[in-house]
Structures are given as C-alpha cells and as structure tokens.
Structure 1
Amino acid sequence: MSAATFAWLSLVVNGSLLGWIFLRKSFRPSQFFAATALFSFGVRPLASESCEFFTPFYYFEIGLYERGVILANVGLTVFIVGLFIGARPIRQGFSVDTVQLGYFAEFLLVIAALLDVAALRLFGTAILPGVRTTGLQQAASGSQIFFAAVSAVTVLGMGLSVLCVLTRRPGMSLVRMVVRIAGFFLISMIFYQRGALLVGIVFGLFLMGLYDNRFFVRNKVRLVSVFAGMLLLATLGRQIITEIVALVEPSVAMAEQSAPGANYSFACRVANTANQEHDQVWPTLLPYVDQYGADHFANVTAAIFRPFLSATQRDRLGLTTSVDALNIYNDSQSYLDLNFGFSISVIQYHYYSMGLLFVISLALAGLLTSRIENAIDKGRRREIDPAYLVRAVLVLNGSYLLNGPFDEQLKWALINSVVGLGSIAAYLAGRRLFFPQYGLAPDRAQA
C-alpha cells in the first residue's frame, strides 16, 4: 500500500474518530494536537505529491519519506484510538462571569505588554520579526526569559479572551473583546512565535466545551470563525507581524519588498510552507534510529537540564534532547550556530525513543492524555472560578506535555503552569487589596 493511500485512509479514519470525540465528549486540547499531526502526515504528504515545484526544507529522500508517512499514520491511528478509549463525557453547565474573566484577561495583557517593553529596552530591535536572522539565544542572549514569560501569560490570557467572546451576552462590548485578542497577538508575536497564541485559543475552546459541549454544534458561525482565526494565525501570522514591523523598521521593509513571489498552486503552497512540516523530518529520523538505535527515553535526563544549558553545551555534555540530536544530525551548523532547526511531533518522538515499539508507547500516551483531561471534572464545583482555573491550567499543560516530545515540552509545561498559577494568585491578591468588593467569581447565571 502506498504512502498516499495511507494518508487518505488516515484522513478518513482519524478525522472521523476526532470528529466523534469532538461531538460527543466536548472539545479537548488533545483533539487540536492530534488534528495538527493529521495535517502533517495526511494533508502535507498528499500536497507534496501533487505539487509540481516541491522544494523540501531538510534532507529529503523519497523512499525514506514515504516509509515515514506510513509509520506516522499507523502511529497516529494508535494514538487517537488511545484518546478515544480513554475519553469519557464531562459534565457541562458551568456558570461564567464574562465581565470578571475579561478584567483578568486585561490584567494579563498589561503584564505581557510590560514584559515586551522591558525586553525592547534591554535588547533593542534585535528580537523583532524580520530583524533577527538567528534564534533568540544568538540574537539577544537572555531574551528567552521574557519570551517564556510572555508566552505563558498569553496562553492564559488568550484563552480567557476567546471564552469571553464566545459566551458574551447582549450589551457587552465586542470591540473591547476583539482588542484583547488583537493585543495578545501583537504582543506575543513580537517574539515571532505562534505557539502560545494557538495553545491559548485551544484553552479557550476547552473552557467553552466545559461551559456547554453542544455550543459549537448550535453556533456553527462562531465555530467556523474561531477555526478560521486559528488557520489565519497558523498560516499568515508571521507574515502579518513582519509586515507590521516593516512599517517602522526600514531594513525589514526593504527585505519585504525584495522578497520574490511565486504563483504556486494550492498544493504547492501547502507543501512549500514552513507550517507543521513534520512529515519532512522522517528522512532524517529514520536513518538516525537505524544507525544509533532507539533512545529508550534516556532523553528524559536531558529534559531536566534543557532550561539551563544551550544546545551547544548540551551537545558537549552528551545531554541532547531528541530535537537536539536530530537537528545536529541533519545540519549541525544551522542548529548550533544559528539556533534554527525543526521540531518533531509526538509520533516521531515515540519512534525516536522506542523504535517500532512506538505503537505501544503511543497507545499508552493517548490513553493517559484522556485520563488527564477527564480529571477536569473532579470535584463538585460547577463554576469557572479561581480554583477551577487552577485545575484547568494544570490539565491543559498535562495534555500539552503528553502530546509532544516530552524532553522538549517538560520545560514549557512547567513554565506555563508556574506563570499561569502565579498570575491567578497575583490578580486575586490585587483585587482583594484594592477592590475587596469584587472577586473572580461567576454571577451564577447557568449556561
């Protein structure tokens, strides 16, 4: 059976399973992460096959590529079946105070803006999209701290902003809600990263699914609007922010004007765009595992040291993560000198760690992910209040951790959890100190 046939089967089978979970068991973060993998290993291979001007980003060998696409879709099916088996319905009918959650989102937006201002004062325009030509570590060492903090605040703030838009009541200012979302876009994209925005939208949809799991079925226009926004952000987010920076930075404006254009077909636009191009990692991953063998999760040790050491230092000390090892194997100069490289999906991480036994570990990862997401329903609270937000932040990051390479995601799951919980505590302390008559509590109006 050809790789294209596997890709088509994957789109039908896995798309149906994800659709069933979405309709019957409310929206979960794992659905989004699995859908991006379905795009990488279903849509992209088919687009690459149909593109007459296909230009791979990394080392490419057609036999290895096709073998990888087959393995990826087998692994993805096993992972989604694990999600499917482990998922159970979650109670809905939460009360939500859109006004108070909106105030909290604005508090987070101010924090993110102050962090951006501090980063620009310390590092100048070197961190801006279109200006820097290397990773943050090389362009402005130390700016990664600000990037991590802004990303963590954005996930929570964007999620609450999306929830406020979706649950808004008559008389509430839609303009104010849109300004919040636009503000988080501009502030977080200063670091040229879309991940926090996308995960933030996923968080908002997750909270919305808890509020009312039939909401998206009954409000198809809002559903389409949210997913259209996610698609726009994923495909054009970097281009939009680069053009905004070009308005005030002459060097970026000149680069934008001199960039060559191409009238590619739709298939070529998908295949030749750097967006979830994990399918192209297989020609590097397969020979690496054939040569060195599976890692057997020894990379977990590297995850502990990752926040404190650069990629070059990790390489010298033999503490490379899965992404480190594969990028160094593919192109060590670009990765170690310029800090540019690719990421990998959860399927590829388990193949790197377990070889052909990855189907077993992926099934367990899918099952455990659903168990973590089910945990949102523990307790008797029927309102999205501070205690519930704490649990939601932890559940989101637990799902995020298990739906990617563990050795790379552990750092971000911890940062997002600590900053998210710290932000909730800071907001509540401030409200109690300066506005004791108010609190982050719902108005008891049931969904």
Structure 2
Amino acid sequence: MPPNAIAPLHSAVIHRQVGALRGAGRRPAEPGQPKRSPVRQHRLSLSSLTCGGPLRDVPVGIANARASSSSLETGGSGPEGRGGEEAGDAIRRAGEEVSTSEAAEDWESNSGEAGHDEESELEEGARVVDGVLIPARYAHLPVKEALRRMRIGAGNTGLVPWNKGMKLSTDMLEKIKLKTLEAMQRPEVKAKIAGRKRKPHTAEAREKIRAAMKAHHIKMRKELGIEMTVRERAKLKRQERRQRQRELAEQKAAKRAGEPRSRGTKKRQKRSEAHRRKISEAIRRKWQEPTYRDQMIQSIQAGQEKRLETAKVNAPIRERVKGMMQQAQDELELERKRKFKEVSGIVSKLELEINSLEAQRFIHSAEKDMETVAEIDKVLEEARGVLQQVKGLLEPLTQKMGSVAADSEGDSTNGNGFAYNGTADSSATDDLNNSVRFRKLL
C-alpha cells in the first residue's frame, strides 16, 4: 500500500473509533445494574486503552477502540508502522478525553435516578475536576500530577512487582551501603541533618501528628472491623480515672484557696470561779486518798531521778559544747584583733604618705612650681578625707578593744629591728611595753 493512502485510512479509523467511544460514554446505565463512580469508569477505560488490562465492565465501543489501536500499533515497521503508532496515540488521547468527560456525565445523569447523594460519598479532601474525582490522598498535588498518578495506579492495578519476595544480594547491599555513605557526605545532607538534630516538634506539628494518628486508627478500625481490645479498654479507663482525679484535685485546691486558713492552736477556754473551785476540791480529795498519794509521790521521785541521770549523761556533752562555743568566740576575737591591727597599720601608712606629700608640697612651693603644688593639694584633700572617714569608723572599735591605739603595731617589727610604722629610734623599753600591752589584749 502506498504511503499516501495511509492517512485517509487512519483518519477514517480514528473517526469511527471516536464515535464508538462517545456513544459508549453516553450510554445510560442498565436498570438493576450497580451505578459506577467516575473514578471507576475512568480507571477501567484508561486501563483498557493504555495498559492492556482486562476488559471486564468496559463498553463495547471502548473495547473495539482498544483492539483497533493495538492492531494499528503493531502494524509493522516503516511508514505504515509509524502511521499506526500515530493513529494509536490519537485513539488513546480521544479515549482519555471521552473516559474522563463522558463518564462523569454518565455518573451525574444516573446519580439522580439511583437516588445516591454524591456529596455524602466524597471523603474529606476529595475533589472533582472536569468530571474526574480526585481522591483525598492527591489533594496536595496539582491536577495534572494527580491525574498522571491516577493513570499509573489504574495501569498497575492487579500487577505483581517483579522483585516481590526477592532478597537483595550481598553485592547489592554493599552497593547500597556505599551509595548511602556517599550521600551522607554531601554538604546539603549534612546541613539538613544538623538542622534537624535534637530539634523538638512545634506545638502545631504535634497537633497535626496527633490528629493524623487518631484519624489513622479510626480508619483502620472501620476498614478492618477490629473491635476494641481489652488493653485499649483498660487504657481508656485509666485515662478517665486520671482525668477525674485531676478535676477533683483542682476543685479541692480552689476550695482551699477560698477558705480562710485555720489557726494551729485554739485559745484556752476561760473557766469560771465556781468551775475552778470544783476542780481544786476534786484534786484535794484525790490527794487525801493514800493510794493515789503514794502513787503520785513515786511518780514524782522517779521523774526526778530520771532527770538527774539524764543531766549526768548530758553534762560532758554540755561542757564540750560550751568549750567549743568559747573556742569559737576566742577565735572570733583574735580575728577581730588581727583585722584591727591591719586597719591600724593602713591608717599609719596613710598618715606617713600624707606627711610625705606635705613635705613635697613645701619643697615645690619653695621652688614656685604652682602647678605641682595644685596637684599635691588636690591629692592631699582626697587623702585627708579618706583618713578622716577611716578614723571615724575605727573610733568605736578602738574604745571597744581597750587602750590599744594605732601604735600597737610596734610588736610587729621587721628583721632589722625597725618598728612597722617606720620609726627607727624606738627604745627597748617602749618595745617591751608594747609587747606587754598586746599580750594583755590577747
């Protein structure tokens, strides 16, 4: 057959098959037959046209279109084969358009007669686009991608994967391991893992996870018909009991917060004179009885003996505690004296520095260096203020410590025999007197 004769033949076949498809799509449902949803009609038509699946529940026109398209696709090589492939593609496209639009029209026309409520059968998240029902699991995808996945799913219906039940070989496992290690070394993967590490879920994410898990469990129970087990019943009872206990505790806390706080001890009730007189007369009559009198005397003597024994046992402990307290007080007093000596030494040094500054001021004033004299006057004013403040703080301590003055540091001399305050001409008598005075202080 010449190549130029293929096009009219193919166009005639296409028009004939498209007409058959349109007639099949508009064919009303037979009485007594179950109504088909748009998804089922769409799946059956696509599987018969594109995937070579079974032709059950497929209209006769669509079956003829599939047979013609398959015969045209396998029409041989060369121009005739190419023409057959083009015709098959055209028939597929026409079949898809008819199956998606006409099946939806058939569903809409028959839904009123069968009395079905289409909206009640739609699950949450599902949508209908151009007469095609897109399930809820494709709600996050665009329409084109959702239809593509639906066609792939319809074509794979009833097929068994070629590697089902097969175990991976050792070489394949090693290859997967190496590829995984290489992928883990990529910077973007490392950054993603580092950003996700120890990152807690947000409150919104936790709510989404909780809602998804609850919906999943409810769906599984409905689909599988699983009744609530004993463990689940016990878990629900525990949750209800904890909720009741929590509510009861909150009620008690609110009630306790609203009530005034009760006192720990009650006030002693005052008794009248007549009541007190009756009590004293009853006690006097009791003591006049020989048995009661002897019993009370023995109890009093036993209590006294027990207190004496306890005092004898606790005497060493009291003495030890008293000695420890006295030792602590002595150490505190010694520390106080040491601090007083240090502060007195600092005061003496400060006085020496002030005297030195005054001598320098006299020298610079004789040399008529007024700038230096002004600086020395400023420093002297600050130093005298500090000295006056420290002496004011030391005055009560000096009165408390006794007759020890700032020169009590004479006992702390350096290796050359000079006193701590810098005076080198102190006599042995003064040193002895200072030492005796310091020992008395200690």
TM-score, scaled to structure 2:
0.19
Is the radius of gyration larger for structure 1 or structure 2?
2
Normalising by the residue count of structure 1, what TM-score does the alignment of the two structures yield? 0.19
Relative contact order higher in (CA < 8 Å, ≥ 6 apart): 1
